[in-house]
Structure 1
């Protein structure tokens, strides 16, 4: 900006870098476009010259909460890398999970520089806990080491469930095939990319140009981050032409000779005009429709996939209007009519059957414990209903004894208390009648 009169910057790629450069862009009125810095705290409300040409991480939290709710899980342990990228999302997840009554009993934070022994120690700690449902939020570099250790620890087996956030899910093409072997049965969520003729033609040219005249040359597939980088360049190029910014300069430049003196940077005279032009740019890109809302790429449909072998099998889709579904629809051209009740009560039946860790179709679940709901003797068993979520809360001396015994067990026992009630929340019968449901194999 000082020495070359740069009027726009594409990048930086990481959250920490982006936070610094965004402030620099604000000072000099230079638009900063990032296609991969996804922190929710990089909002243009605080950084007016910073543009996220990607969806920020908060866009996925409702999709993740809906997915977990659909499988009936009440507790999830988050595992994230100890960086700005890893930590910023967790605050958004806490709020989203509270809305669907999902608890986060423990948060595991792993440094990218951790030794294998440190990660194994933390995995052994997780094995001793009751919860077997894990949500992983980290970059591919750390995940490549982490999931191999997960499998070696026996935690990629039946009874466990692993879910990846969009950052890692969108980078799986860069992960070695041997690492993918340790991720069998993992679920992932990432923005859906609609296959178009333009995308197919570009991929064909991409492979041809890279492999032409190069024997045994291996190319990686085009992932979301690469496609959004390409679309970001196009967006900036279109905006530059439209804004007609030839022969522009910086104003109020400081005459200091130091090439690294930040105080010597002036103010771009066309920065605000270029920023507004970028914000209003619309086109159909390779990664989807390029459409910015308040300086951020408009949220789109997410696809949910299951790692099986070396492939990512799509088991469903999610968007804010339709919720979960087995088939994808064009969110930009189709108007949906879906009741709020349907969105609040998602079902795994709206997804295709996944293959879980341990090569099984049996969903990881908890022990269901029937509890009588009767008036009287509340000191022993008491069933209450949360007015906000309409979820049961079970307490009393009998429950305290059960939990104390559970704490002494040398192995985890995932469980949930299920009141024996009618659809109206009234008692469904006596204690003897509750026990008889076991013989009848009734799932209430």
Structure 2
């Protein structure tokens, strides 16, 4: 794609990077076939190719974002299916991230939209605040239909509906600690405690610690670790996202100095995609660029680490039939496709692929709150495809997908690591017990 940026514009590192991305696009349209919003809405401007045109025009003309650009960029899930499909290697992720930061700097959103985004940014990344907000949301659930009649207020209704009926108790697994390996230590890893996941389903990290320590891995939960920054990053809040990244890098750098780390293990694939991109996010920061690159190189999804370990013979799990839902951040963001299914099969489960597995379920961080109508259509399509293979359980590696899919099906939705923990000597997940 031809561009017409000025020399002064190209002196700006972010603009120069985006210009190189735009020039790689050859208008082929392969991305339209796998873009969930284009498949759902049929609007060219709701496809990656259409959004690239909008971003190009906005950045080339060095103008503030307008309502049209914001509407179509906001509808992007950042599922990154377009990057998996693109034959030209267009890094759409970095381009849309730049566009969102530009929108945040130059566009004044309507009052209700600003308020919702402030609430999400002030609560979701902080476990204590998030827990308190979920308690309030559960009390407000009966009032959710009242918000549906006014379109700008629909995200409030979506927030209330997504609040779980019951909230798990706090888990000691998220407290700073060193969990020693059983027997000879084979590896030493840091475990990302996470923010939303640690509140919504602490059993995931509990299963991770149990399984890894049994396999000879020392697991460190460091003090001072926080949100990875993904939630605010995808809302275009660049500086808060970088602050989260720097804080985590400092924590993990201390652990590297203290006893070395073989990996930084992540059990929420959305976080994994962001942490693996720290090297890009902080590439212009002389104090953090090198440390960020080291952290990104160490970041691994738990299934990546498990694929490197010697696993014992599995215990009998009854040949449970499992539909594997590959989160977008797993298959498109991190390009982890083989390991989860191979591990589940090795554990004795009957693994079934889901039709249209490349399409997003509609969760996408805060998307199912900010764009509830599109998210609901994608969720229903995903659940229909999952139920078509008649599984006894659904396995996935992302808490957002678990919440989104679990709200529309009676089939138990379980984190992949919980099933693997059960198969290799742990307890049966409560959802299927």
Give the TM-score taking structure 2 as reference length. 0.30
Going by fraction, where is helix more abundant, 1 or 2? 2
Q: Rg: which structure is higher?
A: 1
Going by fraction, where is strand more abundant, 1 or 2? 1
Q: Taking CA–CA contacts closer than 8 Å with sequence separation of 6 or more, which of the two structures ends up with the larger relative contact order?
A: 1
Give the TM-score taking structure 1 as reference length. 0.29
